[in-house]
Structure formats: structure tokens, C-alpha cells
Amino acid sequence: MSHDRHFTTRRGFVGAMGFGALGLYVTWAAYGASPLPFASGGDAAADPHGGHAVDPHAGHGAAAPADPAIADTHGGSAVTPETFERRHADFMKRFRQADGSVRPAIAAAAEHDHGAVAAPATMPAGHDHGAAAEAPAAMPGHDHGAAVSAPPATETGGHAGHGMAMPMPAAPDAHAGHGAGPAVALPPLAPLAVSTPAAAAHADGEPIEVFLAAGRFAFEPDDLRLEVGRAYRFHMMASDVAHGASIAFGRASRIVRLRPDTVTTLDLTFREAGRHLVYCTVYCGPGHDGMHASITVA
């Protein structure tokens, strides 16, 4: 190699440019979604959004689900794969209506001791969960609810715990005129809050438990009627082969994969009336095409 090469034709330069995609890391960091080292990952201080320049919202709450205490908190009421089936059956029996729909009510929650007492106390000081739930209200009249979000919990064989959560506030709605909005057959985009179990309990009182089973080729219940503003704790499990559940909001969907022998828990609070398609996301056989349910919020 000659020594008077221009720098663009040197190996070192070409080699370094090859790592260019790592520049994406900066974007992730800017959104608080880069695990290390820019964001505080996984510990109780996990609020990578706080005070971030890109983030116009100060009042979003941060769930700090990495706090091991939270796992303890609902450890007491943990739905295990062993108990799921029985509790799902109880749930169906108790809340099924004459028209086939299922309307879970508060009794379900009261039935079990959640040990919710521990929840607020275990949250790190300075995290305002209530504000998180309030965020949608602060949005100028658009139909997006919003919310705190955190990974749903998964309990495999009684093991419960959370990883780091990256709470993110809803941005002001720049999409009011979005094509999909008006075109949606259902009432579009009813707001929903997804939150950690502890945060939901704190904001809305004890969540109502919902048991959703996914089996070839239907969800049970497949016509769920929920109330606006109530916190629901979804326990979900596949009953035969792997399935998935995606809640469609017209502009995107939220997907969880469901396995047999693994209970996935997700807290949801719908903030507006509407009807949502829930569909299976994992190929489970010929009937996969069409495996769906609906959640109607009134």
C-alpha cells in the first residue's frame, strides 16, 4: 500500500465507516431507549425520559418495575400456569352473560388477595404514577389516550419479575388527520393505559382481573366488555400450542406472544369507549386465519 493515499482510501477509514450503523445508538439514546450506557437501565431510577429534551411532557409517570419489590407485590396473587386453567374457568362462569359476552366486575378482584398494600410503598420516591394516568387528559382534544407503559409481567412457574421499563409519554397528536383514522370501521383509537401492576393499582384502585385463554382457534372470552377508566389486569396463557394476542388500534397494534405453560400478565386501562380487534399473531394451524376476539369498552 502506498503511503500517500487519501484518507478515504485507507483501510482504517473504510473499516471504521463499516461500523456506521452503530450511530443508530445515538438515536436510541435520544429516545431513552438505549440500554447502556446512556440510559439508566434496570434499576429503580429507570426513568430515561425524565427531563429529556425530546420529551415535552414532564408529568409522565415512570414505572420502575425493575424494583424487585414489585415482583413480591403480586407474587402473592401470582397466577401460575398450574392455577390458570381453574381461575380462567371460574372467571368465565362468573361473568359470562346471556348474550355470550363476558363482563368482568370488581368481584373478581376482591376474590384474591393481591397484597397491593406493598405496591405504593415500594415505588421509588418522586415517581408520580398518578400523573402518568393523567397524561391523556392533558392532551388537547384528540382521541389518543396514553399512558404509562411497561412490560407485562410473565410468570413462568411462579416466577415473577420485571425488567426495565422505558416509560414514554404520549406525544401531542400529530396524526389527527391520519388516513387510517377515519377509515377505521370501529370507533377509532380509544385511549388505553398500559401500566405496571403496581402503578395501575396505585392510580385506579385494585384492578379487575381478566383471564384470557388462547387456544386453537379462538380466544376465550372472545367478546369482552370492559368499562372506561377501570384498571384491568389481564392474565393470558395459551392452552395448546403457541399463540399470540395483538390488540389493534387502527394505527398499530400491541403484540404479546403467548405460550402454553407461561402466564403473561398485562395491566390495561381503557380511557375511551370503543371496540378493539384482538387477533392471534402466531401461526397455529389453518384456523389461525380468522382467530380473533373483540374488546368493547363502554
Residue 197, interface with other proteins (CB under 8 A)? no
Residue 245, interface with Cu ion (CB under 5 A)? no
Q: C-beta of 80: minimal distance to Cu ion in Å?
A: 22
Amino acid type, 291: M
- Site residues for other proteins, 126-155, by CB under 8 A, read 143-154
Residue 284, interface with Cu ion (CB under 5 A)? yes
Q: C-beta of 228: minimal distance to other proteins in Å?
A: 13
Q: Which is nearer to other proteins, 75 or 94 (CB)?
A: 75
- Site residues for other proteins, 59-88, by CB under 8 A, read 66
Provide the Cα torsion 294, 255, 218, 156; round to 10°. Answer: -120
Q: Are the C-beta atoms of residues 170 and 139 closer than 8 Å to each other?
A: yes
Q: Is the dihedral of CA 227, 229, 235, 240 positive or negative?
A: positive
Q: Are the C-beta atoms of residues 37 and 144 closer than 8 Å to each other?
A: no
For 14, the enclosing helix (H) or strand (E) is: helix 11-17
Residue 296, interface with other proteins (CB under 8 A)? no
Q: C-beta of 66: minimal distance to other proteins in Å?
A: 7
Residue 277, interface with other proteins (CB under 8 A)? yes
- Determine the size of the site formed for other proteins (CB under 8 A): 109
Q: Which is nearer to Cu ion, 131 or 256 (CB)?
A: 256
Q: Which does 112 bind (CB under 5 to 8 A by kind): other proteins, Cu ion, none?
A: none
Amino acid type, 245: A
Q: Which is nearer to other proteins, 18 or 93 (CB)?
A: 18
Pairwise CA distance, residues 16 & 222, whole Å: 53
Interface pick for other proteins out of 64, 78, 123, 192 (rule CB under 8 A): 192
Residue given cell 415517581 in the structure block: 127
Residue 291, interface with Cu ion (CB under 5 A)? yes
Residue given cell 379462538 in the structure block: 218
Residue 212, interface with other proteins (CB under 8 A)? no
Q: C-beta of 212: minimal distance to Cu ion in Å?
A: 12
- The SS3 call for residue 130 is helix
Amino acid type, 190: A
153-164: burial string, b at 16+ Cβ within 10 Å, e else: bbbeeeebebeb
Residue 280, interface with Cu ion (CB under 5 A)? yes
Interface pick for other proteins out of 9, 110, 117, 158 (rule CB under 8 A): 9
Residue 123, interface with other proteins (CB under 8 A)? no
Q: C-beta of 267: minimal distance to other proteins in Å?
A: 11
Q: Which is nearer to Cu ion, 219 or 270 (CB)?
A: 219
Q: Are the C-beta atoms of residues 269 and 246 closer than 8 Å to each other?
A: no
Residue 288, interface with other proteins (CB under 8 A)? yes
- Site residues for other proteins, 151-180, by CB under 8 A, read 151-154, 156, 159-171, 173-175, 179-180
Pairwise CA distance, residues 70 & 64, whole Å: 9
Q: How far apart are the first and last CA of the chain?
A: 73
Interface pick for other proteins out of 19, 98, 121, 125 (rule CB under 8 A): 19
Pairwise CA distance, residues 261 & 266, whole Å: 16
